Amino acid sequence: MIEWLLLLTALASIMAAIGVVFAIAILINFARQAIRGVSRKVGNVVPEEVIKEKPKMSKEKGEGVTFNDIFMFMIAVPLVLLWVGFAGFVIHSGLNDAAVLEQIEGYTTLIAILGGPALLIIKDALDVWKQEQAEKTAFYKVKAQAVIDYNDAAQKQHQMIESKAQEQEHKMEMKK
C-alpha cells in the first residue's frame, strides 16, 4: 500500500511540475506577443525583415493581442490550472491524511464547481485545435490537387511539344 502511495505522490508531483512548466511557457509566449504588439503600436523602429514580410492573408493573423487573448490568459488558463492543481492536491492529501477523506464531499463539490467552466474551456480549446487541423487538411488537399494539375498540364505540354517537333521533322523530311 505504501508503494502505491509513493507512486501516486510521485506521479502527482510530476504532473504538477509539468503543469507549472506549461503555464510558464504559455505566459512567456503571451508576454513575447504582447511586447511585440506594443512595440509596433508605439512606433519603435521595426527591423527590415518585418517590413519585407509578405502580407498576411487573414486579418486574424495580423491582429496583435486581442481582448479574447487577454481573457484566455487571465481567466481561462488559471482556472484550468487551478482545477487540475486542486484536484491533484485533494488526491494527494486524501492519500496521506484521513481527515481529508472525512471532508471529501466538500472537496468534490469544489472540484465540480471549478470543473464545469474548466471543462468548457478545454472543450473549446479542442474545438479550435480540430478546426485548425481541418483547415490544414483542406489546405494540403488543395495544394496536392494543384501539384497534380500542374504535373498533368506539364506532361500534356511536353507531349504537345514533342508532337509538334515530330510534325516539324516530318515536314522537313517531306521537303527533301
Highest average pLDDT, of 41-50, 72-81, 82-91, 134-143, comes from: 134-143
Q: Which residues contact 91 (CB under 8 A, 6 or more apart)?
A: 8, 12
Q: What angle do the packed helices 2-42 and 77-96 form, to 10 degrees?
A: 160
Highest average pLDDT, of 8-17, 37-46, 150-159, comes from: 150-159
Domain boundaries, the chain: 2-49+63-131
Of residues 148 and 92, more confidently modeled: 148
Q: Which residue has the cell 517531306?
A: 174
Start-end of H helices in the chain: 2-42, 48-51, 59-62, 67-71, 77-96, 98-102, 104-175
Can you read off the three cell numbers belonging to residue 166?
515530330
Q: 10 Å Cβ neighbour count for 49?
A: 7
pLDDT confidence bin for 42, thresholds 50/70/90: low
The model's pLDDT over 13-30, given as tens digits with 9 standing for 90+, comes to 887 777 778 778 778 887
Asked if pLDDT for residue 146 goes beyond 60, the answer is yes
Can you read off the three cell numbers belonging to residue 139?
489546405
Q: Residues 158-171: what's their mean pLDDT?
A: 94
- List Cα–Cα distances, 26 to 8, 10, 33, in angstroms: 27, 24, 11
CA 42 to chain centre: 28
- Residue 9 burial (C-beta neighbours within 10 Å; 0-12, 13-18, 19+): middle
Amino acid at 131: Q
With CA atoms as reference, report the closest residue to 11 among 124, 126, 88: 88
d(CA 156, CA 167): 16
Asked if pLDDT for residue 69 goes beyond 70, the answer is no
Can you read off the three cell numbers belonging to residue 160?
504537345
